[in-house]
Amino acid sequence: MRIARFSIDGNVAFGAVEGEGPDGLVLDIIKGIPYAEFELSGTKVPLNKVRLLPPVLPNKVVAIGRNYAEHAAELGNEVPDVPVAFFKPTTSVIGSGDAIEYPSFSNELHHEAELAVVIGRMCREVPRERVKDVVFGYTCANDVTARDVQKREKQWARAKGFDTSCPLGPWVETDLDPHDLTIQATVNGEQRQLGRTSDMIRSIEDLVVHITEAMTLLPGDVILTGTPAGVGPLHVGDEVAVTIEGIGTLTNKVIKRG
């Protein structure tokens, strides 16, 4: 099931996305919150009449760096012995259709298309064989990065944590085998990144085990699993789209911060 979060007439709700193709999609509004038991209300609204919001409101976004060998190499980095983990703050999260604001302190903004794992239940010290039980679903992410700032500053809090640097969406797909999906990024319709999730160095299972060894994950928390090769610049006015097989397309325009 594809679960979107949206606003219509000032009200915010979750809905199950039904139908195929951009014109035929409707949302069946969900009663309650989708991580627990929920029912579909039967009340339907056309997708093109709502504003999509980030599909989850995470308590935290834990991101993994350098998880595809070709991407590590393109930036001149070694594949790390242990996964590189960092946070993106909740204030960095935006939805599909929202604008990425080019930060004033950077001259080199990059896109990074990533598969995002959405957690469905509170968990800690998750054993590998239980990982599937704590995952709610998957969505597309863009780990937007001020590359010059990342190189200049030892920690990545500003380079990867500025407002609007974490587009997520368009919705969460709950019924998906994530292990071998195409993942791509286009800028103004031109392909920049193309990879397969099977090329991840550490699998989703490895990452959930590694992260929950240290911290509790809560329903709605998000793990970004790293980006394939082909990262490149974004400029004001560009439209960047991240598409993952079986999920959909996350689209955002880059604007100057007002």
| Structure token digits, residue 164 | 């609007």
The nearer residue to Mg ion, 38 or 87, going by C-beta atoms, is 87
The nearer residue to Mg ion, 98 or 112, going by C-beta atoms, is 112
Least distance (Å) between residue 124 CB and Mg ion: 24
Q: Which residue is nearest to Mg ion (CB)?
A: 143
Least distance (Å) between residue 164 CB and Mg ion: 15
Taking the C-alpha atoms of residue 106 and residue 147, their distance in angstroms, rounded to an integer, is: 8
Least distance (Å) between residue 186 CB and Mg ion: 17
Taking the C-alpha atoms of residue 236 and residue 190, their distance in angstroms, rounded to an integer, is: 16
In sequence order, which residues have a C-beta less than 8 Å from that of residue 47 and are 6 or more positions away? Answer: 4, 17, 22, 25, 26, 27
Taking the C-alpha atoms of residue 171 and residue 62, their distance in angstroms, rounded to an integer, is: 19
The dihedral region occupied by 41, where left means phi > 0, alpha psi between -120 and 50, and beta the remainder, is alpha
Least distance (Å) between residue 29 CB and Mg ion: 33
Apex 174 CA angle, 171 and 133, nearest 5: 135
Taking the C-alpha atoms of residue 129 and residue 167, their distance in angstroms, rounded to an integer, is: 30
CA 116 to chain centre: 4
The nearer residue to Mg ion, 184 or 227, going by C-beta atoms, is 227
Least distance (Å) between residue 115 CB and Mg ion: 11
The nearer residue to Mg ion, 35 or 106, going by C-beta atoms, is 106
Least distance (Å) between residue 114 CB and Mg ion: 6
The nearer residue to Mg ion, 30 or 141, going by C-beta atoms, is 141
The nearer residue to Mg ion, 56 or 115, going by C-beta atoms, is 115
In sequence order, which residues have a C-beta less than 8 Å from that of residue 234 and are 6 or more positions away? Answer: 100, 102, 109, 110, 111, 144, 187, 240, 254
Interface with Mg ion (CB under 5 A)? 112, 143, 227
Taking the C-alpha atoms of residue 166 and residue 92, their distance in angstroms, rounded to an integer, is: 5
What are the C-alpha distances in Å from 223 to residues 63, 73, 204? Answer: 6, 22, 9
Least distance (Å) between residue 224 CB and Mg ion: 6
Q: What are phi and psi of 122, to 5 degrees?
A: -60, 130
The nearer residue to Mg ion, 112 or 221, going by C-beta atoms, is 112
